[in-house]
A and B are shown apart, each in its own frame.
Chain A
């Protein structure tokens, strides 16, 4: 009798001497399909990434074996679920290099993380006549929560401008910092332009004015190693689904002393230490901010995604995507009539472009017929479109499983667009 030892396909790791994209691709079942009779070329990773088997299996295993509520049951399944859930907090702490796991708050995603800070820290510290500082390249999720806060408090939203390459003008940002500024919120990597912001310099400038900084890390987390202590940011927000994990789960990192001083976000179970009708004592960090039964399964899925990224190595991923973006930029620039929007020196992952009178929506439809998935529209960053005087762009965004051959398919697809609509 022989025993067959099955090696899970999800355990594929990058070879030490390089990044084996062919092997990596086999970890993502969704990539193995045809769209309109052509192999799928998935270039919409800034919208959401595909999920490796490790993530899919972690969620399935949780529901098959361990499903139980956490932090309350004395039974075995509850203990297992609690342990697995809390392990992810430690994994996220390591992933972001936070000082303490209690600085990791699980939320639905980046949007909820920013709303949490706006509604707790913001409502406590921003008052009439005060200012909140953001940049002109923010996603709507890092604009609207601050706008709502400013409206409620009679405060003003200030916007630091960007230049024609799509880079933050740091001197202008610094000039806008002042005694009225109560918080600054900036993206680490712009979803519409691909610009990487110099967060360390931004936090240094802001802290010189005693202004805390929230960083929207949704696009950066899957593309580069993030070290919140090195960046010295006060809050950092990420979304699981943009880093090869599930939807509906994300992380808010906050410096412990800030989180301790903030009022809770939502009330309910789990966020309390004791409740009487006269008085409720709130739970300690991080539970103070996690009211109700959390998204346990997807948290565990996020843990698997973090493990997967760490196995491959963020440095390797960053190098691979940098190579892809350079190659794509060079090849797409050669096509007459194509204009790249967002040409920052420091850039990653995102290639936004326009094609003269050809509307991005039509580009998207024709590329889809070639099996190529790109995003078209304003990318939830309408002010960025207004800054460049365009209604929309087509955007190819890369992930760790994309290849140079797929860039070639994109280039051929763009030629096809010209053929049909030019």
Chain B
């Protein structure tokens, strides 16, 4: 039971119900889709990338509480970051949710996703928007799939 509360922390539930930066971005010059064919989760991540840094970021789409909250909090933590910083943060985040990193102290608010590591089947949910982000940064046009 404590595992479940660890997974569905209040912050996560709140973001899943009221996602931030949840819209199409008019000024976007990069965008990519993330799709999990197993559960149907589907997001589009929009980026306004200027001189290698993320001036603005948004997303839209549908999916579970974990994937939506993760997308919402990702957009919050990446605004103003450089593409390299975003990549590095994804690396740390991935380590956190797969249980391969430490406490996530250096992840700020994103540390609330630490509970995901106890639910291996949900790692794909937590990282879906991040994979789409990486595709958008790399200028990929095709939807990225978790499979």
- CA of A421 to CA of B4 in the docked complex: distance in angstroms? 11
Flag if A385 contacts B3 (CB, 8 Å). no
Does A392 contact B39, Cβ atoms closer than 8 Å? yes
B17→A357 contact, CB < 8 A:
yes
For B17, list chain A residues within 8 Å (CB): 357
Given contacts A359-B63, A369-B1, A391-B62, contact A376 B7 (CB under 8 A): no
Q: Which residues does chain A contribute within 8 Å of B13, judged by CB atoms?
A: 421
Which of B65-81 touch A at CB < 8 Å? Answer: 65-66, 68
The answer on a CB contact under 8 Å between A377 and B40 is: yes
B4 closest partner in A (C-beta): A369
B residues 1-37 with Cβ under 8 Å of A? Answer: 1, 3-5, 7-8, 13, 17
Given contacts A376-B39, A377-B40, A391-B42, contact A362 B4 (CB under 8 A): no
Say whether B64 faces chain A, with CB atoms less than 8 Å apart. yes
- Within the complex, the shortest CB–CB distance from A377 to chain B, in Å, comes to 5
Whether B39 contacts A361 by the Cβ 8 Å rule is yes
Question: Of the candidates B8, B39, B62, which one forms a contact with A420 in the assembled complex, judged by CB atoms under 8 Å apart?
Answer: B8
Q: Does A403 contact B (CB under 8 A)?
A: no
Known: A357-B17, A369-B3, A421-B13. A362 touches B39 (CB 8 A): no
Chain B residues near A357: list those with CB within 8 A.
17
Whether A324 sits at the interface, judged by CB under 8 Å, is no
Chain A nearest Cβ from B38, distance in angstroms: 6
Residue-by-residue, is A355-367 near B (CB-CB < 8 Å gives 1, otherwise 0)?
A: 0011111100110
A378 close to B64 (CB less than 8 A):
no
Q: Determine whether the beta carbon of A385 is less than 8 Å from that of B65.
A: no
Q: Which of B3, B40, B68 contacts A378 (CB 8 A)?
A: B40
Q: Which chain B residues border A385 with CB–CB below 8 Å?
A: 40
Asked whether B125 is an interface residue with its Cβ less than 8 Å from the other chain, the reply is yes
Rounded to whole Å, the gap between the CB of A7 and the closest CB of chain B is: 41
- Known A-B contacts A357-B17, A420-B4, A420-B8; the reply to A362 vs B40 at CB < 8 A is no
The residues of A with any CB-CB pair to B shorter than 8 Å are 357-362, 365-366, 369, 376-378, 382, 385, 391-392, 420-421
- The contact sample of 16 A-B pairs, CB cut-off 8 A, is A357-B17, A359-B65, A359-B68, A360-B64, A361-B39, A361-B63, A362-B64, A365-B121, A365-B122, A369-B1, A369-B3, A377-B39, A378-B39, A391-B40, A420-B5, A420-B8
Q: Give the 7 A-B residue pairs with the shortest CB-CB distance, closest first.
A: A359-B64, A361-B64, A391-B40, A392-B40, A377-B39, A361-B39, A362-B65
Question: Chain B interface (Cβ within 8 Å of chain A)?
Answer: 1, 3-5, 7-8, 13, 17, 38-42, 62-66, 68, 119, 121-122, 125
